[in-house]
Amino acid sequence: MKKVFTLSVVVAALGVLVYAQEDKNPVMPVSKEIPKAMSKEEASQVSDTEWKKRLSSAQYTILRKSGTERSNGKVYKEFKEQGGGTYFCVGCDTELFSSKEKFDSGSGWPSFYDPSQSENVKSVMESDGSGRVEVRCATCDGHLGHVFSGEGHNNPTDKRYCINGTVLKFVPAKGEE
Residues lying near Zn ion in the complex (CB under 5 A): 89, 91-92, 94, 137, 139-140, 142
d(CA 32, CA 119): 24
Task: Judge contact between 88 and 30, C-beta under 8 A.
Answer: no
Shortest Å distance, C-beta 92 to Zn ion: 4
Residue with Cβ nearer Zn ion (135 or 137):
137
Comparison of 137 and 162: residue with beta carbon closer to Zn ion:
137
CB of 139 to Zn ion, least distance (A): 5
Q: Of 52, 71, 93, nearest to 163 (Cα)?
A: 71
- Name the phi and psi angles at 92, rounded to 5: -130, 0
* Burial classification of residue 20, based on how many CB atoms lie within 10 Å of its CB (0-12 exposed, 13-18 middle, 19 or more buried): exposed
Cβ at position 93, least distance to Zn ion in Å: 7
Of 87, 138, 94, 89, nearest to 112 (Cα)? 87
Annotated catalytic, 92?
Answer: no
Q: Which of 89, 92, 137, 162 is catalytic?
A: 162
Cα–Cα distance measured from residue 91 to residue 38, given in angstroms and rounded to the nearest whole number:
9
Smallest distance, Zn ion to C-beta of residue 142, A:
5
Q: Which is nearer to Zn ion, 37 or 75 (CB)?
A: 37
Closest to Zn ion by CB, 6 vs 39, is 39
Active site residues: 162
